Each structure stands twice: as C-alpha cells, then as structure tokens.
Amino acid sequence: MQYDYLVFIGRFQPVHLGHLKVIEAAMQQAAKLIVICGSARQASSPRNPFTLDQREDMLRAALPTEWQDRVFVVGCSDRMYNDQQWVTEVQNLVDKVIAVDTLSLGKSEAQFRIGTIGSPSRRHTWYLDLFPQWQRVEVADEPGIDASHVRQCLFDDNGAGFAQSAPRLPHAVYSWLQQFRDGATYAQLAEEYRYIQNYRKAWANAPYPPTFVTTDAVVIHSGHILLVRRKNVPGKGLWALPGGFVNGDELVRDAAIRELREETRLKVPAPVLAGSIRANRVFDHPKRSLRGRTITHAFLFELVPTGEGLPKVRGSDDADRAQWVPLFEFNRMEAQLFEDHFYIVNWFLGQI
C-alpha cells in the first residue's frame, strides 16, 4: 500500500455513488481510510438533514463487509469564520484516530504515510490545500451525481420524484432514505424546505437576486449569553441570537438594538445598550442562510453587572422564549443553534 492512512473529507448529505468511488480508490491505495464528516454538530436543516450518526449508518450500510474494519468515521464542526480552528480540529481528529488504531499515544503523525483523497475540482475541495503536509490523491468525479440534487428530489413535493435519485445512490442508502421519509424529522424538514422555496419565489422575478441585510446581537452579562428560541420556520424551535432585518430608514446599529429589545423585552434603555457595544463585525458566508444571500452585522454588547442579577427577559415578536444561558453550557449547544449563530458567538468570544 502506498499510504498508511488516507483522509476523505466531505459532508455526505447523503452518501452517494460518487463517495463510494472515492472510497474504493482509497481502499486500493491505503491500509486504512479516515472519513471526516463536516457539519457534524449543526442543527438539522434541508441543507444538512442528517446527523453524524445517520451518515455513518448510511456509509456502513453501503460498504462491503471486508472494508468495514479499514474505515473510520469521525465528525468535524464547521468553522465558517476561522479556517485555522477547522484545520486544527481535522489534524487532531486524524491524530486521535491513528493513536487509537495503533494503540500507541507515543507515535507522531509524521511516522505514518498520510494523504488526502477527493475530487480534482478546486471549486469543491479547495480546503484540501490547507493540508500541505499530506499528499493529495485525486479521483475523478462521477458524472451526473450531486448531493444537492439528491436532497432536492428528497424534499420537492414531499419526495414525489425521489425515485429519480435511485441510480445515483447505493441501494442500501436509497432504502435507508425511504425509511427516513416516514419519520417526524423528515416531515419537519419538508415543511422548512417548502417555506424556503416559497420565500425564494417571492423575489424570483427581481432583475437580480437580492442581498438581504440583517443584524444580530451577542449580549454577554456575568458569564451568560442572551438567546431566543425561534417561533417560526425556518429554524422553528432552534435557539438563536436576537436579531432580524434592517428597516430601510434606520442605521444598522439602531436595528440591532431595536430587534434585541423587541424579541427579548430587555429593560435596558437604548442609550445604555449603545454604550455597551464593545465590537462589531460583518458575517457574510455565502451559504450562511438558506433563504438567500444574507449578510448580517453582528454587535457584541457587554452589560455591566449591577448587583441585581441578570436582567429579566421574555420572548416576544419572532421568539417564543428568551433566556440567559451560561457560557459553559452554550459551548455544548452547537447542534441547537440556528444557521451560523454558534460560529458568530464563537468568533466574538475569541476577541474578549
């Protein structure tokens, strides 16, 4: 074998025949394969409908018995606004898998022949260039296979055309997805998918796709962060930062304060909130929102302790609940946060 370990990074939403083609190539060139599933702890959405465990179930169901012990599956968080955090997590995952596999914590990664494997398209696998220490193995894409198209067939018209995806999927995965369609999670995701499609139709006739401008408030008080729970789709039931769309007649900062007070009933005067802003940043990842191109201006508010405890809050407007959450607890809530809000907070906390 040319390699001791090859590393295959993807989202596998869902596993399709293109993925199996890469895995087959890896089995021919490496003793072991480490499959790293991205978006491992994001909340379920039409773009990321399957949990890490579900994706491993699909993958294991599609693999021949003789490959099972040679394939490791682990999950990696998204780090939308910090590539180096993401690279570090991937490196740590590879190091831990090798340590467990070899039953030796003393060996360094450099003692093994490690490579990455994936598509030759830099457009889809540009992130592999972030690992120059690992030789890159390229496997030609399987024509006509696109996970986003499979998801579209899965949710369009409640999956009426899902059978079209059968030729693109391993039989075991197609059967798994058919069972998934019978569950409550599918029904909730299908509702959200319909909402997003109708939302996009509302501006489909515009001369060009609009760019939406929103604000989000990261409010910190005595080791707690203020969150709201979303009342409506998309993201119904998920926790989020207080925020919303900017009105045409207001400044972005004023919109952040207005939305914060509307959604939480926070009884702190607007001038005090304005004086509590410690930082702000634009978050503009192109895929941060399924509703369309949405750029948010996030503001960090640090409220000064007064001896009266945490200010009272109450969910209102688009939120059915508002709550102060201890920061240590927030760090375990990645899978419960809407869109990229966990990563926005993560960025600000790194600046405090």
User: CA-CA distances (angstroms) from residue 267 to 151, 228, 316?
Assistant: 44, 15, 13
pLDDT at 107: 59
Sorted by where each starts, the structural domains of the chain and their CATH numbers stand as 3-180 (3.40.50.620), 212-349 (3.90.79.10)
Strand residue runs (E) in the chain: 3-10, 30-37, 71-75, 114-118, 135-138, 212-221, 224-230, 239-240, 243-245, 277-283, 294-303, 319-326
d(CA 64, CA 67): 6
Respond yes or no on whether the N-terminal peptide bond of residue 49 is cis (omega within 30° of 0): no
d(CA 177, CA 169): 10
pLDDT at 352: 56
Least Cα distance to 192 among 291, 64, 63 occurs for: 291
d(CA 120, CA 126): 9
CA 108 remoteness from chain centre:
31
Residue 21 burial by Cβ neighbours in a 10 Å radius (0-12, 13-18, 19+): middle
pLDDT at 9: 97
pLDDT at 105: 56
pLDDT tens series, the chain, 352 aa: 899 999 999 999 999 999 999 999 999 999 999 999 999 999 999 999 999 999 999 999 999 999 999 999 999 999 999 999 999 999 999 999 999 999 865 556 668 999 999 999 877 788 999 999 999 999 999 999 999 999 999 999 999 999 999 999 999 999 999 999 999 999 999 999 999 999 999 988 889 989 999 999 999 999 999 999 999 999 999 999 999 999 999 999 999 999 999 999 999 999 999 999 999 999 999 999 999 999 999 999 999 998 889 999 999 878 899 999 999 999 999 999 999 999 999 999 986 5
**Residue 128, phi then psi, degrees to nearest 5:** -65, -20
